[in-house]
């Protein structure tokens, strides 16, 4: 067992590379995708990024680029799947967790969006986008008190951010029934 751990450690440090061909292939494919992105060839970039991820499923840079390109191309369902895969590997990727929450809100999946925003806020409690998303999702699931609490917190943290004031003018806060 000790020999395995030493071998694993050396492999992680790059001192022992029993099978690096697939990594080189994934990197080469990723570089080609980056070139396609630079040339605004979104479809080609998406194809190449998917190929890089097929070669190395834990390639975070490729997953991030894929999610970004799918969003750019208006393919939100596929972008959501790429973000979910990315978040399985890197649960602390708050930016993508917030983006996934926003996609879920647009798809009228407020409960799932609320979960994403909650996880984002656990990792980054001061994230303005996560606070706004949490408030919107909480309102949609009938948790108006939690939505108001998130907006108050946002106003306290970001007093010059008008989004927290505008979002606060929802039906619940004006004394109207939702």
Inside any domain, residue 125: yes
- pLDDT value, residue 46: 95
The whole-angstrom separation of Cα 32 and Cα 30 is 5
Greatest alpha-carbon span in the chain: 68
Inside any domain, residue 14: no
The whole-angstrom separation of Cα 61 and Cα 27 is 10
Position 148 pLDDT exceeds 50: yes
Whether residues 103 and 125 share a domain: the answer is yes
- The tens digit of pLDDT for each residue in 51-69 reads 999 999 999 999 999 999 9
With cut-offs at 50, 70 and 90, classify the pLDDT of residue 26.
confident
The whole-angstrom separation of Cα 121 and Cα 129 is 10
Q: Is the pTM of this model over 0.75?
A: yes
Residue range 167-175: average pLDDT? 46
Whether residues 174 and 162 share a domain: the answer is yes
69's enclosing H/E stretch is helix 60-72
- pLDDT value, residue 172: 39
What b/e readout covers 122-134, taking b as 16+ CB neighbours within 10 angstroms? eebeebebbbbbb
Whether residues 113 and 174 share a domain: the answer is yes
The whole-angstrom separation of Cα 149 and Cα 89 is 31
CB-based contact 49:28 (threshold 8 Å): no
Whether residues 83 and 98 share a domain: the answer is no
Domain holding 96, by residue range, is: 91-178
User: CATH number of the domain that 105 lies in?
Assistant: 1.25.40.10
Whether residues 147 and 177 share a domain: the answer is yes
Inside any domain, residue 51: yes
């Amino acid at each position: 067992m000790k020999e395995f751990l030493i071998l694993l450690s050396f492999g992680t440090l790059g001192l022992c590379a029993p099978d690096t061909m697939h990594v080189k292939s994934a990197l080469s494919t990723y570089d080609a995708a980056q070139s396609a992105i630079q040339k605004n060839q979104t479809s080609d970039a998406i194809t190449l990024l998917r190929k890089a991820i097929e070669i190395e499923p834990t390639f975070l840079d490729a997953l991030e680029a894929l999610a970004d390109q799918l969003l750019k191309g208006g393919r939100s369902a596929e972008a959501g799947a790429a973000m979910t895969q990315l978040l399985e590997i890197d649960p602390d990727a708050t930016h993508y967790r917030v983006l996934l929450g926003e996609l879920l809100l647009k798809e009228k999946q407020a409960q799932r969006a609320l979960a994403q925003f909650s996880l984002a806020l656990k990792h980054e409690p001061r994230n303005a986008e996560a606070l706004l998303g949490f408030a919107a999702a909480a309102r949609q699931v009938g948790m108006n008190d939690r939505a108001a609490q998130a907006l108050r917190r946002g106003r306290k943290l970001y007093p010059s951010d008008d989004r927290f004031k505008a979002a606060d003018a929802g039906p619940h806060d004006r004394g109207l029934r939702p």
